[in-house]
Amino acid sequence: MQLDPKTWFTEICEEGGLAFSLAIKEKLHEETTPYQHIEIYQTEAFGRLMVIDGFIMLSQRDNFFYHEMMSHSALFTHPHPQRVLIIGGGDCGTLREVLKHETVKEVRQVEIDERVTRLAEKYFPELCEGNDDPRAQFHFGDGIRFVAEAPANSVDVIIIDSTDPIGPAEGLFQAPFYSDCRRLLGDRGVLVHQSESPLLHLNLLNKMRAEMKKGGFPQVRTLTYPQCVYPSGWWSATLAGDSVAWFREQEAAAKTFSTRYYNVDIHRASLAVPEFLRQIEGE
């Protein structure tokens, strides 16, 4: 079936040899910032869609999988998270989820491109419900530099809610950056980084885990979850710290806030490792 390019947005994943298309009602916005090209679409079935440099960042219909797994899995892994640092996360969906935790006293979000946040506030206001929370602090600049200059032992959880490892985000996937993160976190700290598709990007995932260990994290665990608008429909987040196979199961089971995907059973199940991934777990 021939798709009309005027009514479909298609993302091509060269490394996977596949493409994903969404039916489009209209283009709502398009601009080029000093850092990237941003497009906002209204789709037929997935609500509004944000695209950066030709890659789908999020849709209204399925972003909750990503945002909930990137936030709650890390915060329930830490014994008592109070200070959270988000690198990236310009759409503010992860920030919204982090702020649901009553233990959290401070969240600093460092996004290199302020326009991502401003466009999210306009076109995805439901993701930005926490932006006026007094615990939230916004810093628009280089996340790598921010982490390098921040004081030691100043953060409990670091969430790296980044784009793919190309362009401005490339350095976020390397050992020197992870080493700086380790210095900020101290002994009990937890880091989580989005780690692409375990099916299509296994080499990258393997390299990420190795770089985390080079950066001083003794234990890493990769969680998997569905994400239908990302290549392969199956995504991952990798936790790093001293003990990230453990989490506060009783508190997760009794969480006082609502979610659409995350719960204690999902967290437990997401730690299960498929056979083909056991080669990189090794722990």
Among 62, 156, 161, 180, the active-site one is: 161
Q: Which residue ranges are tagged as binding site for S-methyl-5'-thioadenosine?
A: 36, 111, 142-143, 168
CB atoms within 10 A of CB 151: 8
Active site residue 62: no
Binding residue numbers: 36, 67, 91, 111, 142-143, 161-164, 168
Cα–Cα distance, 6 to 88 (Å, whole number)? 31
Distance CA 192, CA 89 (A): 13
CA–CA distance, 21 with 74 (Å, rounded to integer): 31
Q: What are 54's two structure tokens? A: 């030709």
CA distance 93 to 177: 24
Closest-CA residue to 46 (of 27, 29, 28, 60): 60
Strands 136-140 and 157-161: unpaired
Known binding positions for spermidine: 67, 91, 161-164
Strands lying side by side in the sheet with 18-32? 8-13, 18-32, 37-43, 48-52, 55-59
Which residues does the annotation mark as catalytic? 161
